[in-house]
Amino acid sequence: MALILVELSERSSVAAEAARLLYSGAAEEYIQAKEMAATSLGAKAVPSNYEVAVELDRLADEAEGGERQRRLVEMRKTALGVMKNLSAFSPRLIGSVWRGTARRGSDVDVVALAETPAGVEAALAGYDVLEKGEVTFKGGVHAYHIKLAVGPDEVEVVVRAPSEYTVDRCDVYGDVKRGVTLPELERLLRVDPLRRFVPRRHSR
């Protein structure tokens, strides 16, 4: 029993330190943050990504207070504006702005479905483009991305071919990263603009 309590305490400490590293920008990926935290604390027990995410969410709430919720609503409105311009490409809001866990430094992530990026780029012609081009995401997924500056927000639009797009399982929360469509986002902002899409425990 004592060993179990020690392990739980270690996991909690590593999760809290990993969350701090992620929030401060000292680490970019969960696995990197956990390794750095475990090494600095001399701990052997390693928490799950979900445990770190819970600590990161708590830390962001403490640091940002009510401003965090206000920014979430504004970022969802930013997403709505971009997605309206992309309505012909079945846009879907994903990432932390979809989940409701956006924090300081988060951007808005949108997926648009098209065989080539030309039409998507034309639909976004009115925005300030920060960068664009081919990109390879974790897992070896190749896509075309367009990063926009929209007011105070950065929006990353990822263009995927409809035949290649699949809804993946989240490596942090363990659930399916389904996101919300344009009609769903419109309703969300009308009915429950602060709604969170986070499972209460890690889904397998």
**How much is the pLDDT for 5?**
41
pTM above 0.85, yes or no: yes
- Ranges in the chain, pLDDT < 50: 1-6, 204
Neighbouring C-beta atoms of residue 175, cutoff 10 Å: 15
CA distance 57 to 141: 27
**How much is the pLDDT for 203?**
52
Mind listing the pLDDT tens digit for each residue in 14-46?
999 999 999 999 998 999 999 998 899 888 888
**How much is the pLDDT for 10?**
83
CA distance 136 to 141: 5
**How much is the pLDDT for 187?**
98
**How much is the pLDDT for 9?**
74
**How much is the pLDDT for 2?**
46
Question: SS in 3 state form for the chain?
Answer: CHHHHHHHHHHHHHHHHHHHHHHHCCCCCHHHHHHHHHHHHCCCCCCCHHHHHHHHHHHHHHHHCHHHHHHHHHHHHHHHHHHHHCHHHCCEEEHHHHHCCCCCCCCEEEEEECCCCHHHHHHCCCCEEEEEEEEEECCCEEEEEEEEEECCEEEEEEEECCCCCCCCECCCCCCECCCEEHHHHHHHHHHCCCCCCCCCCCCC
